[in-house]
Amino acid sequence: MTDSIRTLIMGGAQGYMIELTRYLAAAGGVTLVLWLGARWTESRRIQLRTPDFADWQHEVINSLITMVTFAASTMLTIALARMGIIHVSMAAPPIWLAGVEFVAVVIAHDAYFYWMHRALHLKALFRRAHMTHHMSRTPTPWAAYSFAPIEAAFEAAFLPLFLLIVPFHALVVLAFLLHQIIRNVIGHSGHELAWSGFTRSRWTGWLTTTTHHDLHHSEGRHNFGLYFTWWDRMMGTEHPRYHEKFEAIVTDRPALTPSSG
Ligand SMILES: [Zn+2]
Ligand SMILES: [Zn+2]
Q: How far is the CA of 169 from the centre of ligand 1 (A)?
A: 31
* Domain interval for residue 26: 3-260
Q: How far is the CA of 5 from the centre of ligand 1 (A)?
A: 37
**pLDDT tens, 170-216?**
999 999 999 999 999 999 999 999 999 999 999 999 999 999 999 99
Task: Tell me the CA end-to-end span of the chain in Å, nearest whole number.
Answer: 56
Going by pLDDT thresholds of 50, 70 and 90, the confidence category of residue 257 is low
Going by pLDDT thresholds of 50, 70 and 90, the confidence category of residue 261 is very low
Q: How far is the CA of 187 from the centre of ligand 1 (A)?
A: 13
Q: How far is the CA of 100 from the centre of ligand 2 (A)?
A: 28
Q: How far is the CA of 58 from the centre of ligand 1 (A)?
A: 17
Q: Report yes or no: 140 and 56 within 8 Å, Cβ to Cβ.
A: yes
**Closest among 227, 232, 237, 235 to 105, alpha carbons compared:** 227
**pLDDT tens, 88-125?**
999 999 999 999 999 999 999 999 999 999 999 999 99
Please check the confidence at residue 23 and state whether its pLDDT lies above 70. yes
Say what the pLDDT of residue 254 is: 53
Q: How far is the CA of 102 from the centre of ligand 1 (A)?
A: 25
- Rounded Cα distance between 146 and 116, Å, is 16
**pLDDT tens, 128-142?**
999 999 999 999 999
Q: How far is the CA of 108 from the centre of ligand 1 (A)?
A: 19
Q: How far is the CA of 94 from the centre of ligand 2 (A)?
A: 35
Q: How far is the CA of 97 from the centre of ligand 1 (A)?
A: 34
Q: Report yes or no: 210 and 143 within 8 Å, Cβ to Cβ.
A: no
**pLDDT tens, 46-91?**
998 889 999 999 999 999 999 999 999 988 888 888 888 999 999 9
Say what the pLDDT of residue 214 is: 96
H/E element holding 169? strand 168-169
Count of structural domains, the chain: 1
Q: How far is the CA of 8 from the centre of ligand 2 (A)?
A: 32
